Amino acid sequence: MKQTKPKFTSLRRRIMTQFCLFALVLSAVYGAIAFVLMWILEDSFIQREITHEAEYLQQGFKQQGQWPVPRKDYMTLYFSVSQLPEDIRDTVIRVPNQREFFGADKRHYHLHRFPDAPNTFLVSEVSQMLIVRYMTNDVLWFMGFSGVVVSLIACLIAWFISRKTIRPLRQLVQVVGGADPNALPRRFADQFPNDEVGILADSLEQSMQRIATTLERERCFTRDVSHELRTPLAIIKNAVEVHRIRKGSDQNVVIERIADAAIAMEKTVETLLVLAREEHTQAKKETFNVMPLVEKSVVGNAHLLEGKAVEVEIDDSCNREIFAQSGMLMVLLNNLLGNAFQYTQSGRVEVFFSGNQLVVQDTGCGIEPAISDNIMEPAVKGSQSTGFGFGLSIVKRLCEHQGWILNVESQQGTRVSVSVCD
């Protein structure tokens, strides 16, 4: 089942969003605290005025034996519950310990009880002093506007911070993303600061160095093994030729098997050597005709058809020019035609172009169902194979290196198509 790639989320945008949300929430919390503090300060101021006036009245009562008139015009003395304003009287009776009361027509009362005179009440109608009540809408609008301004400033700051924070990551992406696989950058971590980005850059540098070392070791191994095997293979071939001349026909079958195996090994070694050389040197592409290469490959693998009733058909569509690396195409043809000739006992092998695809099709035994899904993996081979199962694996590696698209179909026979041109 194909997995969908998660939607790209910009780290810079996330930093800005979180920073702005934090500023907005902080502004809202600060505004709420400031609003509550205004209520508390206003109430404390009113209560202090009432307390001072109550002390003045109580002191006058002690000195003169009667209650003086309150100095504040919004304060009134009442000497019984029945004299209290009608809009708070019932509430005072029900809740005798309550200090603040909401009256009719937006009136607001503060009630002070004298400990030495339980039936005496100092009532203050403070609705004209409640500045916060009448400024609530203005205060809320101001806080909202301030929150928006603070959020915009926070977004601007977040933009600068995120830009500065992401810059090293962008530089790291450019260094790593634009690196040549055959010339990986070295010591690039030194240009980054000693922080998390620097640690990441250092880890990437070490990983890339290990990858470069592994790739170089693989190239050297392939090249060296190919060179080392060419000499003993040449000796085997020469010895077989001498043995053919000297010995009788009874041993020819054994000698032919040895000769075929030596030729197959030689072609495999040449394939590995060419592949290693081309991958290492990155040979330039050129425009050339495909037909001569197909004919050369057919002739070179003709020994695999000896004693078989197999007809080879090269279509005129192969007489065309393409822009590619001729050496790599020759390796591809040798592998595909070699497989087709080896596993086709009778019938025909066709080579033709279908659009931009080079097709090699045979009427052989086909690919066994048990290995059809992973036929191009290393060391996977059919029951009739006499090799080690690396043929199509090498072809797959070659196509991946050249950017060619490889497709293998096997029903009645085998059809291999490779997109070798645009």
Q: Is residue 134 domain-shared with residue 187, that is, in the same domain? A: no
How many Å apart are CA 248 and CA 46, to the nearest integer?
A: 130
Question: What's the pLDDT at 159?
Answer: 85
Q: Does residue 330 lie within any of the structural domains? A: yes
In this structure, are residues 186 and 40 in contact, taking their beta carbons and an 8 Å threshold? no
Same domain membership, residue 351 and residue 249: no
Q: Which of 66-70, 149-153, 213-217, 407-411 has the highest mean pLDDT?
A: 66-70
> Is there a single domain that holds both residue 50 and residue 30?
yes
Domain range for residue 37?
Answer: 11-148
**Cα–chain-centroid distance for residue 377?**
28
For residues 318 and 414, membership in a common domain is answered with: yes
Residue 290 domain-assigned (yes or no): yes
Find residue 410's DSSP bridge partners: 414
Q: How far apart are CA 169 and CA 100, in angstroms?
A: 61
Output the pLDDT for position 285.
80
Task: Decide if 49 is inside a domain.
Answer: yes
Q: Give me the pLDDT at residue 294, please.
A: 94
Query: Which of 193-202, 211-220, 247-256 has the largest mean confidence?
Result: 193-202
Average pLDDT, the chain: 79
Does the pLDDT value for residue 217 go beyond 80? Answer: no
Note the pLDDT of residue 380.
47
Residues 295 and 418 in one domain: yes
Mean pLDDT lowest among 147-156, 267-276, 331-340: 267-276
- With residue 111 as reference, give the H or E element that holds it: strand 108-114
What whole-number distance in Å separates Cα of residue 11 and Cα of residue 269?
50
Instruction: Judge if 143 and 217 occupy the same domain.
Output: no
Of 345 and 254, more confident: 345
Q: What confidence score (pLDDT) does residue 353 get?
A: 94
For 323-378, what is each residue's pLDDT tens digit?
Answer: 988 878 888 898 899 888 988 889 999 999 998 999 999 988 777 665 555 555 54
Query: Higher model confidence: residue 185 or residue 212?
Result: 212
Which comes out higher in pLDDT, residue 151 or 179? 151
**Is 175 domain-assigned?**
no
Asked if pLDDT for residue 383 goes beyond 50, the answer is no
pLDDT tens-digit map of 10-30: 777 888 888 888 888 888 888
220-249 pLDDT, tens per residue?
666 666 666 666 677 777 777 777 676 655
Domain assignment present for residue 127? The answer is yes
Per-residue pLDDT, averaged over 100-126, amounts to 87
* Model confidence at 274: pLDDT above 80: no
Give pLDDT, residue 370.
56
pTM over 0.75: no
Burial of 382 (0-12, 13-18, 19+ CB in 10 A): middle
Band (389; pLDDT cuts 50, 70, 90): very low
Measure the CA–CA gap between 264 and 339, rounded to whole angstroms: 11
Is the domain of 411 the same as that of 389? yes
Q: Is residue 213 part of a domain?
A: yes
Question: Based on the domain organization, do 257 and 333 belong to the same domain?
Answer: no
